[in-house]
Amino acid sequence: MQALAKYAALQQRSLFISAGHSDKDPGAAANGFTEAQVVLDFRDRLADYLRDKVYFTKDGERGQNMPLTVAANEAVAHDLAVEFHCNAFSSPAATGVETLSAAKHYPLGNEICKAVSAALGIANRGAKGESSGQHSRLAFIKRGKGIIVELFFLTNKSDLNSYIANIEACVEAVGSVLIEAVCMETEA
């Protein structure tokens, strides 16, 4: 609770974290995993990391992943909303982390990319526009005004192995960037 007191006192902006997809919409499936499975686990680990540090809400209890429509409605009610996905491509060589968002979120998107790229040792594809993704998730960006993080390519075995080996480092890296972001009055 000491940590909560430290950061929460500095917190200027509200935070919402969301797991992409849902039980009914598993997203990409590759190398024995579904996107929904990976990002729900990531969101819950991130929540554990953030819990004693800042105030935030998420799209469901532990192990629960609300549908995108619910997440997008919730997202728009917060100053900062971030939804996690895995990327997928027909070529298994495609690699790296990227974010999708409106242009005003590019600086924060690039910070997140830098953090994930360093934690996983994968390429930094950078912050991109909302139509760059592999499938339609515009509701979270357009209606929810949020940022989508494509953590890594589920279709790339090497990306997946780096992720599995470095999950906690990745959680900490993303968590630190988000804590810093909500403690600033406006987005950097």
Residues that bind Zn ion (CB under 5 A): 20, 27, 85
Confirm if 51 and 1 have CB atoms less than 8 A apart. no
Shortest distance, CB of residue 184 to Zn ion, whole angstroms? 28
Could you tell me the sign of the dihedral formed by the alpha carbons of 93, 38, 148, 7, in that order? negative
Q: Is 16 helix (H, G, I), strand (E, B) or coil?
A: strand
Please state whether beta strands 15-19 and 80-87 pair in parallel, antiparallel, or not at all (unpaired): parallel
Name the residue nearer to Zn ion (CB basis): 170 or 182. 170
Shortest distance, CB of residue 85 to Zn ion, whole angstroms? 3
Residue of minimal Cβ distance to Zn ion = 85
Shortest distance, CB of residue 2 to Zn ion, whole angstroms? 37
Q: Token digits for 47?
A: 């929540």
Name the residue nearer to Zn ion (CB basis): 53 or 146. 146
Could you tell me the sign of the dihedral formed by the alpha carbons of 121, 127, 130, 132, in that order? negative
Name the residue nearer to Zn ion (CB basis): 106 or 153. 153
Name the residue nearer to Zn ion (CB basis): 29 or 102. 29
Shortest distance, CB of residue 173 to Zn ion, whole angstroms? 20
